[in-house]
Amino acid sequence: MAAPDKFALLKRYFGYTSFRPGQAELIDAVLSGRDVLGVMPTGAGKSICYQIPALMLEGLTVVISPLISLMKDQVSGLREAGIPAACLNSSLSHAEYSETMGRVFSGELKILYLAPERLQKAGALNFAGSQPVPLVAVDEAHCVSQWGHDFRPSYLRIAEFIGGIKPRPLTAAFTATATPRVREDIKRLLSPESPGPASAEEGGREFFTITTGFDRANLYFEIQRPRDRESALLACLAARKGKSGIVYCATRKTVEDIHRLLLARGCAAARYHAGLEDGERRKNQEDFLYDRCTLMVATNAFGMGIDKSNVSFVIHYNMPKNIESYYQEAGRAGRDGEKADCILLYSPQDVRINTYLITNSAGEEEKRDERQIEHNLELLRQMTFYATSSDCLRGRFLSYFGEAAPHYCGNCSNCLTQYENVEVTLEARKILSCVYRLKERGRLLGKTMVINILRGSRDKKIRDTKLDTLSTWGIMADSGPHRIRLIIDYLIDRGYLQLQGAEYPVLSLSPRFREIISGQIPLTLKLPREPELPREPRPSGEPELSGTPQPSGEPKPSAGTAPAAGEWDEALFTRLKELRKDIAREAQVPAYIVFSDAALRDMCRKRPASPSRFLEVSGVGPAKLEKYGDAFIALIRAHPENGTTQHIELDGEGKGLP
């Protein structure tokens, strides 16, 4: 029988039937003996690009990965899928370390995760003599570059490590950071043939590079510039009750303040920053990963390597210092491909604080590097442009990452409040005639009253003064008050109307008004685009984003949690989540390691009633079928079709953020 090909392995171990963009190409390149660099956004599926070759190549694949939590997650995931994997890092006890080394030497492992710091230890290469090492994968490869945002000196040892193994293994590097400078650094600094600053010419093998699109269509981007950030945050959270989310703050102190605020409001939030003791940090992180707590308030120390796939929103309470960091942090939302929200609460204060931090942080350890400081200030400027821009936010990201960018994505706060030129001549005439008729009756009124008359209000004041008998009463009943007010302001601006009186300003006509009445001049005005145009219902029950400017006073869709009608059975989904939670608790792994939300959703859709049907679910391979198939199939069978009423909130599951 021929060896299984990459498609067979994708289904067998990961339960998927097709590759995502870039995956197959990178796998093929590795298998044909090339070094590769995959530049792909978070959630694109980088791991599979080295895990599948690892299964096909003889020997042990080594993966360098910067964070312990990430390794643990990856290893649990692989074990769940039936792939022998382990990790070596500083969190292991002596006994665990020896046990893992035993497994390495016995040749039973296919994938070994290594912390970069291990490369500094004597004997780091020992195991390489015992069996072939065909491939070294480097995760978060931008850590090798000091122009990235996460420089780790120990990454500089990787090239030497690779060069020290005979025969020289292939290198597969992965990053979500796409700036050309960082990309060049990665290729140069990870090549054993051209270590140091020399050019890549001298013998450095060429990397087969793939950059997949950075656009993540499932993410909604929003900028708010609230006067009161705390209230804005609370409103955002209230609209997302029960969903899993992260609130990033710039400093430890802000984390503490916000954490306290949330606890005082009865929100069970965990906190995370480098100032906490290891034990508490670990516990808080696990509470979040294991869904014991739906909300995490953290500095950027949290999250590198957090693989939690069902994070449904990321709110930045402060603006980060560059776009890469922002995109990476915000990108922790929606890794499962479900709709998710990324919200930045901007204040000009953030710019000042970041400027201070950038200009004062350097120089503690090394000598001050002016070039680096200038570079970082430039990155901060780009971030600030993003936060204050009125262009499409997605477009801004993509052009920053060097991709073709849309002018209009329809799924960001700028697009949703985009302005369009509207002809308002007729509406302007109606307003002016109303003021004219009022003058005939000897009345001068303020904006609000004029608007009420135009909209046909039966307010007592209007009835008492018989203003409802004016010929212009109710002639703009179909227009929103906000829109009429914008047009009035415009008419004042342009000198067709005047405001008189300081204490109670009233409207009066200015001599130019006849130009409009006689129709000589067409009037066009920039008005917010009507919101229903771009808004499609979000399948995963998108909450209405409080704080999104509501252009013309349209009623907000309610913060529903129900999926698009008929798509799947919410009650079944809830029960599947409960089952997953029980299994995860028993196995002591996070729930998403057992099955992603996307997999549960596919179960709701397909309702597999037999093992073979269960295998058709996306995310189910033979290993998971064997382990969990019976339990899930039994539950699905026992669950009545369209049984939406039976099991609602059995035990308060899903209430989350209380």
- Decide: is 65 part of the binding site for ligand ADP (CB under 6 A): no
In angstroms, give the least distance from the CB of 16 to ligand ADP.
4
Of 112 and 392, the one with the shorter C-beta distance to Zn ion is: 392
Which range binds Zn ion by CB under 5 A, 138-146, 342-350, 394-402, 442-450?
394-402
Q: Which of 6, 9, 13, 19 binds ligand ADP (CB under 6 A)?
A: 19
In contact, 291 and 596? CB cutoff 8 Å: no
Of 46 and 281, the one with the shorter C-beta distance to ligand ADP is: 46
Which does residue 328 bind out of ligand ADP, Zn ion, none, counting CB within 5 to 8 angstroms by kind?
none
Pairing of β 35-39 and β 85-88:
unpaired
Contact characters 130-169, ligand ADP, x per CB under 6 A? ----------------------------------------
Of 39 and 405, the one with the shorter C-beta distance to ligand ADP is: 39
Of 27 and 383, the one with the shorter C-beta distance to ligand ADP is: 27
Task: Output the CA angle 130-71-86, nearest 5 degrees.
Answer: 35
Which does residue 309 bind out of Zn ion, ligand ADP, none, counting CB within 5 to 8 angstroms by kind?
ligand ADP
- Decide: is 43 part of the binding site for ligand ADP (CB under 6 A): yes
Q: Under 8 Å CB-to-CB from 99, ≥6 apart: which residues? A: none
Q: Report how far residue 25's alpha carbon sits from residue 31's, in angstroms, rounded to the nearest whole number.
A: 10
Q: Report how far residue 214's alpha carbon sits from residue 21's, in angstroms, rounded to the nearest whole number.
A: 11
- Decide: is 72 part of the binding site for ligand ADP (CB under 6 A): no
The SS3 assignment for 169 reads coil
Burial (CB < 10 A; 0-12, 13-18, 19+), residue 7, is middle
For helices 570-587 and 622-638, the axis angle rounded to 10 degrees is 130
For 317-344, letters b (16+ CB in 10 Å) and e give bbbbbbbbbbbbbbbbbbbbbbbbbbbb
Structure tokens at 276: 């906490």
Q: Which of 596, 614, 621, 629 binds ligand ADP (CB under 6 A)?
A: 596
Of 23 and 312, the one with the shorter C-beta distance to ligand ADP is: 23
The SS3 assignment for 241 reads coil
Sign for the CA dihedral angle at 224, 229, 231, 237 comes to positive
Of 583 and 617, the one with the shorter C-beta distance to ligand ADP is: 617
Q: Report how far residue 141's alpha carbon sits from residue 93's, in angstroms, rounded to the nearest whole number.
A: 27
Closest CA to 550 of 528, 526, 525: 528
Contact characters 280-319, ligand ADP, x per CB under 6 A? ---------------------------x-x----------
Of 48 and 114, the one with the shorter C-beta distance to ligand ADP is: 48
- Decide: is 187 part of the binding site for ligand ADP (CB under 6 A): no
Q: Report how far residue 146's alpha carbon sits from residue 138's, in angstroms, rounded to the nearest whole number.
A: 16
In angstroms, give the least distance from the CB of 19 to ligand ADP.
5
In angstroms, give the least distance from the CB of 620 to ligand ADP.
11
Indicate the DSSP class of residue 34: -
Which range binds ligand ADP by CB under 6 A, 18-26, 120-128, 178-186, 432-440?
18-26
Q: Which of 13, 37, 47, 433 binds ligand ADP (CB under 6 A)?
A: 47
Burial (CB < 10 A; 0-12, 13-18, 19+), residue 208, is middle
Q: Which of 9, 30, 36, 40 binds ligand ADP (CB under 6 A)?
A: 40
Task: Output the CA angle 31-140-580, nearest 5 degrees.
Answer: 85
Q: Report how far residue 350's alpha carbon sits from residue 568's, in angstroms, rounded to the nearest whole number.
A: 43
- Decide: is 412 part of the binding site for Zn ion (CB under 5 A): yes
Give the binding site for ligand ADP (CB under 6 A).
Answer: 16, 19-20, 23, 40, 42-48, 307, 309, 335, 596
Please report, as ranges, the residues that interact with Zn ion according to CB under 5 A. 392, 394, 409, 412, 415
